[in-house]
Structure 1
Amino acid sequence: MGPSIDLAATTGAVAFGIPRGAPAFGIERGAPWDYCFRYNHFVAAPFYLGTAAAINLGNTNSCIAGYDFAPGSTYYQFCIPSWVAVTDNGTLSGEAAMDHAALSPGTAISGFMRLIQRRLGDHVVQREMELVPYKITERLGWASIQVEAGQDGRAKEFSPADLAGILISELKHKAEAHLGREVAHAVIAVPIHLTYTARRALVAAGRFEYGFRGVKVIDQQISAAAAYQHHTKQGDGKAVLVFRLGGRTSDATIFKFINGTTRYITARSDLFLGGDDFTARIVDYMVELISQQHQWDIRQDKKALLRLRVACEHAKKALSDQEETLVQVDSLVDGVSFSAPLTRAKLEELNQDLFDRAMGLLEEVVMGTGKPRVDSRKDMVDEVVLVGGSARIPKVRQLVKEYFHGREPNNRQGVEPEEAVVLGTAILSRPEAARYIEECFDHLYGDG
C-alpha cells in the first residue's frame, strides 16, 4: 500500500503545522482539531461577487470556475489537462502540451502536484522518482523537475510550483477572456495532505507571480462537501465523509460543519493510488496482448505506449456506462493498427487489489472515529460524498454502498464527481459563503 497519511493520530507538539517526529510524507494532528489556514495577510474581507475565481489544481485535470456580475450570477467553468510541455520557444500547457507529449514524450510533464515544496529526500519524492519519465533533481533545497528540450538537448529546470503557475496562468487567461475583464482574486482548492510550506508558497505565488490581488486556499474536501450543499444550515452538525479518488492520489476525510467552521474528525491519504493506476493495469494487459498477437514490445516505443495509454483511458471511462468496449489505436506501430475488446468484468479483475486498497483507506478513516463498535462508527457518518474521476467506476460505487449497508453515496443531480471540488470552491468564493473560509482560516495549524 502507498504511504497512508494519518492526520489525526498524534498529540505531539506542532511547529508551523507539522508535528515533531511526523513522517516525511505526511502531516499528523491531534484530534479533535480544526484544519484551516491562519496567516495574517491571508485572511481578508469577502471577495466581491464576480471578482474571484475558484481554482482546483489536480494531477490529471485543472479547472477554474466562478460567477459573473450578471443578474442571476451566471456560473462559468473551464478545465484543462494538467500537462506542461517544454519547447524551443517556451512552454505549452493544457491540451497543447498533452498533444505535444504524443510527439515528444520526454519534453512533457504531468502529475507533478504532489511534489510541490517537498525535499528531495522526502519519501513521496523518492517514490515519485521511480514512476516518472522525467528527472527529479534538487534546487535550493527543494525537489525540482528537469527535462531536455530543444535541438541542442539542453536541460531546463522547473519547480513543481513553477509548473502549477503555468497552469494557473492559462486558466486565469481563459476566465478573463470569457468575462472580458480581470479576475482579481482566487480561492485555490488544495489536497488535505499539502504541507503548510506548500500552501504558503501557493498563496505567495498567486499574489506576486500570477497577478491575483487576493488569494485564499481551502481543502478540496470542504469544497466537495459544499458542492453537495452540506455547508448550509441543513447540514450543520452532520458528519460528512468525503471519499476522493483522484487521478493519482486518494483520500478519505470525516468532518463536520459547525456554526460556519469546519471541524475535522479524522482523515487518511494514499498519495499513490488513483485513476492512473487503474489505467496502468489496462495498459499492462494490452501490452501483453500486443506481444502475443504481433510479437511487439511497445514498451520500447514511448510514442506508441503513450497512444495506447490514451486509448486505454478512453476505454476505462466508457466502461462506466457500458459493459464492453474496444481499445483501438490506429497505426500503433509501423502503420499497423491495434484493436481488442475490454469488458467491465475484466477491468474489475485487473484492478481488484487496487479496489481493495481504496476500501482499506475508507475503512481506516471510519475506524479512526474512535467509536467503540464498527457499526456505530459507520452509523456516525451522516453523509457520504464520493468525488474524483474514479468515482464514476461502478465497482467503486458498489463497494462503498455495500460498506455502508446499502446507503447510496450522495449524488446531487447536476454535480459531476470530477467537477465537484471546483464547483464547491466557487460556491464558497461567493460573499455570502465567505465566513466558511474565513472562520476556517482562523484555525489552520493553530496559532503557530
Structure 2
Amino acid sequence: MTNEYAIGIDLGTTYSVVGVVRNRNVEIIADQQGSRTTPSVVAFKASEIFVGKPALDEMSIHPTNTVYDSKRMIGRQFSDTDISEDKKIFPFRVTRGKQDRCKICIKRENCATKTYSPEETAAHVLHYLKKSAEVFIGSKVSEAVITVPAYFNNAQKEATKNAAEIVGLKVLHILAEPTAAVIKYVKDNKTEANGQKLLVLDLGGGTFDVSVVEINELNINVISVNGDRHLGGCDLDGVVLNFAIGEIMKKYKIDVSKDSRAIARLKVECEKAKRNLSLNQSAKIIVGSLCNSVNVEIVDVEISISRDRFNTLCKPLFERINGPIVEALKDAHFHINDIDKVITVGGSTNVVALYDFIRKLFFIDSKRMIGRQFSDTDISEDKKIFPFRVTRGKQDRCKICIKRENCATKTYSPEETAAHVLHYLKKSAEVFIGSKVSEAVITVPAYFNNAQKEATKNAAEIVGLKVLHILAEPTAAVIKYLRDNKTEANGQKLLVLDLGGGTFDVSVVKIEQLNINVISVNGDRHLGGCDFDGVVLNFAIGEIMKKYKIDVSKDSKAIARLKIKCEKAKRTLSIDQNARIIVGSLRNSVNAEIVDVEISISRAKFNTLCKPLFERINGPIMEALKDAHFDINDIDKVITVGGSTNVVAFKEIRINGPIMEALKDAHFDINDIDKVITVGGSTNVVAFKEIVRKYFPDSKIVRSLNPDEAVAAGAAIYASEMSSNKNQHFEKITLNNVTPLPLGIKISGNRMHRIIDKNTRIPTTAIQKYTTTMDNQTEVEIAIYEGSGTLITENNCLGKFTLNDLSKLPKGQLEINVTFSINENCILEASAVESANGNRKSIRITRENVQFSIDEIDTLRSNFIMDCSLAEQFNKAKSLKNECEDVSRQTQWEIENQTDTYNLQSPHLNNTTNILNEYIAWSSEPHETLDIDEIKSKIRIVRLAIMPILRRPSDINDLFQGNNN
C-alpha cells in the first residue's frame, strides 16, 4: 500500500487551486508565494520559468513571453472561431501547428523562438501546484483528480490529462467543476443536503457552467448541465480593457492598443478595477509612465469607471447568463420552484469589510524581528525599508546597527530595543502605583511561535520583570469581554480578530461558564497597521516627486518625518473621507530650494492602494473556523482588537441568466432550491449578484463555502476516495454524472442523428441501427458529432472512422449497428458492426489532432525536465551570487563606518576593498545566464580577500553561512 496522497487540482483559466485530504480534513495548499490561489500564468525568460504571481509581475515587462488564459486553447483547434478572436488580444503569438493544433510562440531572451502547446503551459502550472503540494505534505505526489468546466468536451478533457502526464501526474479522474463544489457542499451538510435539488452556477475565469443536481444520501446525481464555454471573468476584464483603451485615447491622445507592454500593465489594472467595482460605486484605473507617440511626452494615466457604466458595457455578457440556466432546468424537467438551494461558486460569497487601522508602534517595527532569524523572508523585505541598518548576527540573529553621535557604531538585538519600551512602561506603572513593580503578564500575537515568546520573556528579564504568563492578545481581549458580559457570554462561540501594528490574529473561542476555551487560532505574522502606513508612505513619496519634483526616497530624515505624518493621515481616514499630509522644509536637490510639502489622500484612494492587504485578512479567518470545525453561522459574537473599527462582513449574493435554463432542464422550480453556491471569482460582480437576489432569498445562499476553494476542496475529497493510500479514504461518495451535449452521427442530408441525448446519466451505452444508401456499397464513413443542432454544420465533429469490406447488397438491406459507450470519465468509444457477418470497426474519441502520442508525451516531458533543470541551476547560481553580494556590501559598509569587526590598519585593506568593489559591480549587472562554477570561483576570491582583515579570521564561516565551499 502506498503512502502517497492524491491531490485535487482546480486548474482554472485565470487562477488555480490545489487541495488534499489528510486526517479526514480538507486542506487547501498555499503556493510558494504563500497564496492559496495561484494565477494560471507562465512567463518564459532566457534561463528561468516563472509561474503564478511572479509570472504575473513579469507580464508588464515581457508581455510577449508571458502566457495566460491558455486553458481557453487547450484541446481546441486553431481554426475554431473562439481561438481566432482570442488570439487577436493575446500579447503572445498563437500560430497553427500540425493537425490544426494551437501553438504559442515565445522568443526567449538570447534564444531562438520556441513554440509551446497549451498543454505544455498548463503543465508548468500543474508542476508548480504539484511541487507546492509535495512541500506541504512532505512526500511525493503522483496522483490527482483535476477539475474542468462541465461543458468541456472529450478533446479538452484528454488535453488536460496530457498536461498532467507531462509532469508525471496520474489523473485518477477528470471531474466537472460544479460537481466538485457539490461534493464539498454534501460533505459539509450531509443531513441537510439529503433529498435536495441543487442548482450550481460556476462563473469562472473563462467559462460559465450550470448544473442541476439531486442529492440522495451520499449519491450525487447530475441531472442536467448547460453553460457557455466562452463567458467568464476574463471576458468582463476585456470589456473594461476596451473601455480603458478608448478613454485613454480620448483623454490623453495616447493609442495603447498596439503597445503590448502598455496593454499588459493596463490589463492588470482593469482586472483590479473590476474587483473594486464589487465593493465601490466607482473605480480608478491608474497606469504610470505611458508614452504619447505624438510629442514623446511621458504621461501618468488615470481614468475612472462607474459601476453603472460597467454594468451597461457588460449587459450583453450578463444577458448570456440566463439562457443556460433556463435550458438546464428544461432538460431536467424541473420548474424553478423545484430547486431547494442555489450554489454559486466563486469569490462573491464572502468579502472583508474595510478596516481602519490606527495602532501606532512604540518603536519602528522591532517587534517584527523579535525571535526571528535574519534569513527569514519577511525580515529580508522589511530591512529594505527600515531607515536603520539590520545585519546578520551570530546564529543568524537580527542585529540593528545604530551609529550614535560621537560613538562607534553599535548593534542591538530586537529584544534589547523591546526592553527599552518595557522599561519605560514599568517606570510609568511604578509612578502611578507608588511602589515597585517586578512581575508582569505580557501579551503577544496569537501566532507568535515559541522562539518569539521566549525572546519576549528575555526582553522582560533584561529590565527585571518576572514574566508570570505570556498571553495571546486575542485571549486577553476575551477575558475583558467575559468580565463585562458574564451572563450573556456563557455558551457563546466567539470569533476574535486582532489587527495590531505588525500582525493579524484570528481566534475562535468558546465560553463555558467562566472557562475560556480557545478552539483554534490563525493569522498573518506580517500583516498589520505598519503595512498600511507603508502603503501611504509609498503613495506620498510618489506624489511628492510628481508634484514637487523632490525625491525623498533616499533621505532617511525626510522619510522618518514623512512616516509619522502618513500614520496620522491613516488615522484621519478612519473618520474623514480625506486627509492631508503636510511636511515642512523639504529640500529640492536640483535647485536646493526649501519647500513646504502638502498632498492629499482620499479614503477611496487609500482603500484601492490597500486592497491587496485587505484581501489577506480573509484567509486566516476561514482557516481558524475550519480548524475549529465551525461554520461562520456558528459564531455568536465577533470581537475586534487592535484599533480596527469594522468587523468581517459577508456580501450579498445575487445571480442571472442560464440559471433559468438549468432549472428548466432539471424540471425544477426556483423554490425547490435549498442552497446557492457560487464558484469562480467573476460571481463577485455586483450586477451578477443583484440578478441572483431577484430569484433567491438570502437564507438560501450558502455562506459556509469558501468560493475560491470549494472546487479544489471537492476535488480533493474525491481524490482521497480514489487514492492508492487507503489511510486517506473516508465516507464513500457515489457520483453520477451526465452528458453535457447530444452525441450522434452524420446521416444523409448533412444532418446529425442523435444516439445519446444530452443529460443522459453515465456510464451509458446506446445502439442505433442504420442501413446503406447506395447499391453494393462496400464502405461507410461514420462521422461522430456533438451538439444540439439538426445540421452537422451547427455541431462539433469529434472524429471519423470507416467501416470497410461491407457485403454487396442493395441499398437499405445491409444493416449496421452503431454503438456509443461513455465511461465514468466521460470518454466516448464508438463502434460500427455489420449485423450479417460481425465485421467491426471502432474508435476512441479523443480528437486525434489534439491527442498526443506516447512518444510525443515523452518528448514533451523531456523538454519540460530540461527547462526546469536549467531554471533550477540558474536560480541556485543566482542565490549564491546574491548571498555573496550581501556579504560584500555588509563588509564594505562596516569598513566605511569603522566598526571593530575588521582591522582597518591591515596592509591587505586596499586589496580587499578593490576585490569587494569589483564583485559588487559585477554582481549588480543584469545576468541572463550564470555559471555556478564561475560564481563559486568568485566567492572564493571574496572569502580570501576578507579573511586577512578580520580581527577574528574564524568569523569568516559566520559571514558565509550559505557559501562555505
- TM value normalised by structure 1: 0.78
Please name the residue that 1:295 is paired with: 253
Deviation at 1:123, TM superposition (A): 4.6
* Equivalent residues of 1:389, 1:418 under 8 A apart: yes
Please name the residue that 1:56 is paired with: 10
Pair 332,386 (structure 1): closer, same or farther in 2 beyond 3 Å: same
Q: Which of residues 655, 661, 675 is equivalent to 1:383? A: 675
Please name the residue that 1:171 is paired with: 129
* Equivalent residues of 2:146, 2:174 under 8 A apart: yes
Please name the residue that 2:19 is paired with: 65
Tell whether 2:265 aligns with 1:307.
yes
Pair 168,114 (structure 1): closer, same or farther in 2 beyond 3 Å: same
Letter in 2 for 1:211: G
Please name the residue that 1:436 is paired with: 734
Tell whether 2:645 aligns with 1:347.
no
Please name the residue that 2:47 is paired with: 89
Write the distance in 2 (CA, Å) between the matches of 1:438 and 1:51: 24
Please name the residue that 1:76 is paired with: 29
* Equivalent residues of 1:366, 1:378 under 8 A apart: no
Pair 283,119 (structure 1): closer, same or farther in 2 beyond 3 Å: closer
Larger relative contact order (C-alpha < 8 A, sep ≥ 6)? 1
Secondary structure of the equivalent of 2:669? helix
Secondary structure of the equivalent of 2:283? strand
Question: 1:226-237 alignment to 2 at 5 Å?
Answer: 226-229=183-186, 232-237=190-195
1:135-164 residue CA offsets vs partner (Å, 9 max, x unmatched): 434445352322131346733122211111
Pair 275,204 (structure 1): closer, same or farther in 2 beyond 3 Å: closer
- Of 387-396 and 366-375, deviating more is 366-375
* Equivalent residues of 1:57, 1:189 under 8 A apart: yes
Letter in 2 for 1:339: E
Deviation at 1:97, TM superposition (A): 1.9
Letter in 2 for 1:56: D
Write the distance in 2 (CA, Å) between the matches of 1:282 and 1:120: 26
Write the distance in 2 (CA, Å) between the matches of 1:405 and 1:181: 45
Please name the residue that 2:709 is paired with: 419
Letter in 2 for 1:238: Q
Following TM superposition, the consecutive aligned residue runs of length 4 or more in structure 1 with deviations greater than 6 angstroms are 372-375, 438-442
Write the distance in 2 (CA, Å) between the matches of 1:141 and 1:336: 46
Write the distance in 1 (CA, Å) between the matches of 2:152 and 2:101: 15
Secondary structure of the equivalent of 1:432? coil
1:239-268 residue CA offsets vs partner (Å, 9 max, x unmatched): 211111111211111122335443322222
1:391-441 residue CA offsets vs partner (Å, 9 max, x unmatched): 112221110121x2546663323x332332112222333322453359988
Secondary structure of the equivalent of 2:734? helix
Q: Which of residues 309, 318, 338 is equivalent to 2:301? A: 338
Q: Which of residues 238, 247, 255 is equivalent to 1:280? A: 238
Please name the residue that 1:393 is paired with: 685
Q: Which of residues 160, 169, 181 is equivalent to 1:212? A: 169
Pair 75,97 (structure 1): closer, same or farther in 2 beyond 3 Å: closer
Write the distance in 1 (CA, Å) between the matches of 2:151 and 2:26: 33
* Equivalent residues of 1:203, 1:216 under 8 A apart: no
Pair 75,198 (structure 1): closer, same or farther in 2 beyond 3 Å: closer
Secondary structure of the equivalent of 1:311? helix
> Which structure 1 residue ranges, 5 or more long, are not aligned?
1-44
1:171-230 residue CA offsets vs partner (Å, 9 max, x unmatched): 111122233322242121111122234434544653x43233563221111111223337
* Equivalent residues of 1:185, 1:214 under 8 A apart: yes
Question: 1:8-19 alignment to 2 at 5 Å?
Answer: none
Write the distance in 2 (CA, Å) between the matches of 1:446 and 1:197: 9
* Equivalent residues of 1:388, 1:418 under 8 A apart: yes
Write the distance in 1 (CA, Å) between the matches of 2:711 and 2:9: 9
Pair 376,164 (structure 1): closer, same or farther in 2 beyond 3 Å: closer
Write the distance in 2 (CA, Å) between the matches of 1:127 and 1:299: 15
* Equivalent residues of 1:268, 1:364 under 8 A apart: yes
Secondary structure of the equivalent of 2:101? strand
* Equivalent residues of 1:58, 1:247 under 8 A apart: yes
Please name the residue that 2:229 is paired with: 271
* Equivalent residues of 1:387, 1:417 under 8 A apart: yes
1:106-149 residue CA offsets vs partner (Å, 9 max, x unmatched): 11111111322233344544444444343434445352322131
* Equivalent residues of 2:108, 2:114 under 8 A apart: no
Write the distance in 2 (CA, Å) between the matches of 1:370 and 1:409: 22
* Equivalent residues of 1:428, 1:437 under 8 A apart: no
Pair 243,353 (structure 1): closer, same or farther in 2 beyond 3 Å: same
Write the distance in 2 (CA, Å) between the matches of 1:377 and 1:72: 35
Q: Which of residues 264, 283, 287 is equivalent to 1:325? A: 283
1:305-351 residue CA offsets vs partner (Å, 9 max, x unmatched): 22122112112112212223322222233542122333322222221
Q: Which of residues 184, 196, 202 is equivalent to 1:244? A: 202
* Equivalent residues of 1:58, 1:113 under 8 A apart: yes
Write the distance in 2 (CA, Å) between the matches of 1:233 and 1:443: 27
Letter in 1 for 2:707: P
Secondary structure of the equivalent of 1:329? strand
- Of 306-315 and 372-381, deviating more is 372-381
Please name the residue that 1:29 is paired with: none
Larger Rg: 2
1:341-390 residue CA offsets vs partner (Å, 9 max, x unmatched): 33322222221222112233323323333347979633444433221101
- Of 166-175 and 197-206, deviating more is 197-206
Write the distance in 2 (CA, Å) between the matches of 1:213 and 1:367: 37
Q: How many correspondences in the alignment?
A: 398
Secondary structure of the equivalent of 1:228? helix
Deviation at 1:296, TM superposition (A): 0.9
Pair 434,123 (structure 1): closer, same or farther in 2 beyond 3 Å: farther
Q: Which of residues 410, 433, 436 is equivalent to 2:701? A: 410
Secondary structure of the equivalent of 1:229? helix
Letter in 2 for 1:310: V
- Of 152-161 and 387-396, deviating more is 152-161
* Equivalent residues of 2:17, 2:28 under 8 A apart: no
Letter in 2 for 1:218: L
* Equivalent residues of 2:146, 2:173 under 8 A apart: yes
Write the distance in 1 (CA, Å) between the matches of 2:242 and 2:708: 25
Pair 120,342 (structure 1): closer, same or farther in 2 beyond 3 Å: closer
Write the distance in 2 (CA, Å) between the matches of 1:391 and 1:305: 25
Q: CA RMSD for the aligned pairs?
A: 3.1
* Equivalent residues of 2:222, 2:736 under 8 A apart: no
Pair 124,349 (structure 1): closer, same or farther in 2 beyond 3 Å: closer
Secondary structure of the equivalent of 1:157? strand
Question: 1:351-370 alignment to 2 at 5 Å?
Answer: 351-370=314-333
Letter in 1 for 2:52: G
1:51-107 residue CA offsets vs partner (Å, 9 max, x unmatched): 1221111110111122445x9676534321111122222532222222222112111
